[in-house]
Amino acid sequence: MKKTFPVNINGKIFYIDEDAYSLLQNYLDQIHQAFGGTEGDEIVGDIENRISELFDERIAAGAHAIVYADVNNVIEIMGKPSDISDGDPKPDRQPQAESDDKTCDSNNSSNSDSVNSNVTVGKRLYRNVNNKVFGGVIGGLAAYLGWDANIMRLLYVVLSFFTYFWPLAIIYLIAWMVIPAANTPRRVLEQQGFPVTVDNIGQNVLQSTPPPYPGNNSDFSPKGVVTTIFSLIGKFCMTILGLIGSVGALVATGFFVFFLVAFIAYTCFHDIILLDFINPHFVDHVGTMVPTVGCLALMSFALCFIIPALALAWAAASYLFNYKGAAKATVFIALILETVFIVATVILFIFTDKWLYAF
Amino acid sequence: MATNIDNLKSQMRKGMLEFCVLLLLSKGDSYVSEIISRMKEAHLIVVEGTLYPLLTRLKNDGLLSYRWEESPSGPPRKYYSITATGQSFLTELHRSWTEISQTVNHLLNENNQTTIQS
């Protein structure tokens, strides 16, 4: 069983399997890279045109969806990116080099060399989603440096103890946000430093569809145990953080409601019982205008804590229960709101600086 | 050695490809799939992909132009046609081809005669 989704190729809709799609996407990407710029756009457009025709034939022959073999077939008909770009004698390209490329290709043994000239190869830093405890940052770094991931994790924990935990935790969180995840076949190949060729991508696509590993659960190798321990520690930490977040959000909301009620009570009914409860000198100490502003300041101060606390709780929950991460728009709006609250709090507190002395 | 022969063959084909595409289009406009199938018939191309960069390059050099035309079945097709520049380019190519083929044929004939004599 495979996931299938519709793609629009040159104005026609085809249903295509997920693995077939990523193979095709990578193939077209490579061709585009081999030519680059507007020329690449045009050639890829023409080739898409033709692919659409070829797929059309498949559908006319009775196929319901485009599968991996169909894409492979198309690539065979169209030729590998290295074959295609060979047909394009760029002015600076020596005939000698071209024939070298050709020889490599027909030997098929040192395929990477011939592709090297067209496609950038080299390890790149990605988060390792296949080997992760939290976000795969250290797994990715280990893959990048060619170290053992578990040794790096141990190193990280030890370093954390020596640096009072926070600096490294913050660095980790920033890295988690900044470093992209290796979530496409191309990225997985780049992460491991393999050349991005159609063959490699094809293999990788096949490998990345998670095969059933019946024996994997009974894997008691030391590495497996260490990973499990780290995973448990991760879950424990996330649970604590989630609890802190939830309780924090509740407390902050409670304070907000309390200040809101006090504010309404004071402005509508000139009732100062609640204000007295906050601070006995609340009204005495300052003019008549300031208590309302003070209340507003306290309200927005409470609001400042709600969003981070909720974010913490959400992050923990999404880690523990495999939720999807927050949408970008949500994060964006939350950040804007948070900024507004902080600015409002600061401004309001400046207005009530006299009142602050009352505390 | 075998790879060298293959290599040489593909080089020869590659050299002829542009000439043949221009020749084909000088007889009348044609769309890409048709050009491809004609070239495949003649064993001039092995993989289709090689033709696209070539057509794009010829078009960018002003030897070819193209237009979109609706097709009775499927998506619109890209019809290529030869330009005036392309036509004069083709005449030039034709001349040098005649020269080359004459030389080659001449040599081949000489070879044949010597093999018959011996």
SS3 (DSSP) at A192: helix
Kindly report the length of chain B: 118
> Per the CB < 8 Å rule, is A88 touching B53?
yes
Name the β-bridge partners of B67: B79
Type and span of the H or E element at B82: strand B77-82
Least confident of A63-67, A226-230, A279-283: A279-283
Contact A99/B at CB under 8 A? yes
pLDDT at A348: 78
Largest CA distance in chain B: 62
* Per-residue pLDDT at B91 exceeds 50: yes
Cβ <8 Å between A102 and B74: no
Which residues are within 8 A (CB) of A19 and not within 5 positions of it... i.e. 6 or more apart?
A: A2, A68, A205, A206, A209
Question: Measured between beta carbons, which residues in chain A are less than 8 angstroms from residue B78?
Answer: 46, 49
Q: Which of A39, A79, A106 lies at the smallest CB-CB distance from B49?
A: A79
pLDDT band for A105, please (50, 70, 90 cuts): very low
B10 touches chain A (CB under 8 A): yes
Provide the pairing of β-strand B30-31 with B77-82: antiparallel
User: Could you read off the pLDDT of A39-71 as tens digits, one per residue?
Assistant: 778 888 888 888 888 888 888 888 888 888 888
Does residue A102 carry a pLDDT above 50?
A: no
Query: Which among B17, B33, B53 is the nearest to A53, CB-wise?
Result: B33
Contact B49 A78 (CB under 8 A): yes
Beta-carbon contacts of residue A80 (< 8 Å; ≥ 6 apart): A105, A197, A198, B47, B49
* pLDDT tens track for A292-322: 777 777 788 888 888 888 888 888 887 777 6
Q: Please state, in angstroms and rounded to a whole number, the distance separating the CA atoms of residues A339 and B56.
A: 52
- Answer whether A102 sits within 8 Å of B47, measured CB to CB: no
- Rounded mean pLDDT, B83-111: 89
Asked if the model's pLDDT at residue A323 lies above 50, the reply is yes
Torsion over CA: A76, A80, A81, A84 (sign):
negative
Quote the CA–CA distance of A294 and A126 in Å, as a whole number.
Answer: 48
Whole-angstrom Cα distance, residue B106 to residue B118?
18
Summarised one tens digit per residue, pLDDT across range A144-196 is: 888 888 888 888 888 888 877 777 878 888 888 888 888 776 777 777 777 66
Q: Say what the alpha-carbon torsion angle A30, A35, A40, A43 is, to the nearest 10 degrees.
A: -90
pLDDT at A355: 52
User: In the structure encoding, which two tokens stand for residue A309, read together?
Assistant: 């606390």
